[in-house]
Structure 1
Amino acid sequence: SIIVMTSNIGAELIRKGSTIGFTSRSDEAKTRQMDYEKMKEKLLDELKKAFRPEFLNRIDGVVVFHALTKEHIRKIVDLMLDQVSQQLAEKGIKLEVTDAAKDFLGEKGYDEVFGARPLRRVIQDMVEDKLSESLLRGKFRPEDTAVVDLEGEEIVVHPAAVEALAGDDKP
């Protein structure tokens, strides 16, 4: 059996531990790895302070994950929106989400301390709820495409513009 336990022990250290400074691109990966190693050591010390040795000795391994990058957050946003897309597909509706909307959702759904945990709620509040309201109001029918976009600082949902099917007017 594998039992996975997660903890927020040391979350305050992580929040305070972000370094400010400038590094060259070649040093960036090395600096990030050194920062990770220092943080890992501090977090394991915090773990030892929080739990009795009898408990810790029964644990086979402790994994300290690297902080999420913007690319990681974007992939998580894409995965969550794929689930929304599958739900709409069951109703015969396609989903298109602009890059601007995805980036905005990622920014709003990420927290230094809690990572991507708030992202589920952000997508639910900003995308799923608006799609549900639009569906209830009859804005979308089967074969339609729902577009999720960013206007200013707000996520908006609207049907895709229907192109004229009466031939090509281009020379």
Structure 2
Amino acid sequence: VEQTFSPEFRNRLDGIVYFNPLDPLTVGHVVGKQLLELESQLLAKSVELEIDAEVREWLAHKGYDRLLGARPLQRVIQDELKKPLAQEILFGELEDGGSVHITLRDDKPHFEFRKIPKPSKETEAETSGSPNG
């Protein structure tokens, strides 16, 4: 520490804090919290999210490191869930909203998209012609 950090920085250090590895239940809670945040972001884009329990377990396994704790989880969620979902929201199945069901297939997340059906011209005409529309 003395060779790496300046005296000014070392003087700000109070002590060493040791952390125990996270237990699987706690890692599961961290995964749940991260997925709630993702779900909230998707709802703002009119996209409903459903994630199977085995995907949550897979994320907990892939996103946890004994030395780093759950720090890698954010990167795993970014690479494996957010990037593919962003592509679909911007250019694909979810441009106009919809829903996505994420399952695990071949040890990777698999996405099943459902678009929100666009109202037909007849439906729009009926709605705009009605006294309530």
Instruction: Tell me which residue corresponds to 1:153.
Output: 107
Instruction: Look up the SS of the partner of 2:49 in the other structure.
Output: strand
Instruction: Tell me which residue corresponds to 2:39.
Output: 85
Given the alignment, which residue of 90, 94, 114 partners 2:68?
114
1:135 correspondence with 2:97: no
State the Cα distance separating 1:63 from its structure 2 match: 3.6
Distance in 2 (CA, whole Å) between partners of 1:132 and 1:56 is 43
Unaligned runs of 5+ in 1: 1-49, 163-171
Change (3 A) 1:125 1:57: closer
Q: Quote the RMSD (CA, aligned, Å).
A: 2.7
More strand as a share of residues: 2
TM-score normalised by L of structure 1: 0.56
State the Cα distance separating 1:93 from its structure 2 match: 1.1
Instruction: Look up the SS of the partner of 2:56 in the other structure.
Output: helix
**Paired residue type of 2:101:** V
**Which 4+ residue blocks in structure 1 deviate beyond 6 angstroms?**
54-58
State the Cα distance separating 1:90 from its structure 2 match: 0.6
Distance in 2 (CA, whole Å) between partners of 1:58 and 1:81 is 36
* Matched residue count: 111
**Paired residue type of 2:77:** I
TM-score normalised by L of structure 2: 0.70
State the Cα distance separating 1:56 from its structure 2 match: 8.3
Distance in 2 (CA, whole Å) between partners of 1:120 and 1:77 is 9
Change (3 A) 1:88 1:161: closer
Change (3 A) 1:161 1:103: farther
Percentage identity across aligned positions?
31
Given the alignment, which residue of 64, 84, 93 partners 2:18?
64
State the Cα distance separating 1:82 from its structure 2 match: 1.1
Q: Deviations over 1:101-125 (max 9, x none)?
A: 1111111111121111111100000
Change (3 A) 1:120 1:113: same
State the Cα distance separating 1:138 from its structure 2 match: 2.7
Distance in 2 (CA, whole Å) between partners of 1:101 and 1:111 is 17
Distance in 2 (CA, whole Å) between partners of 1:66 and 1:133 is 38
Unaligned runs of 5+ in 2: 117-133
Instruction: Tell me which residue corresponds to 1:40.
Output: none
Distance in 2 (CA, whole Å) between partners of 1:97 and 1:111 is 22
Distance in 2 (CA, whole Å) between partners of 1:113 and 1:64 is 11
**Paired residue type of 1:89:** L
Distance in 2 (CA, whole Å) between partners of 1:97 and 1:63 is 36
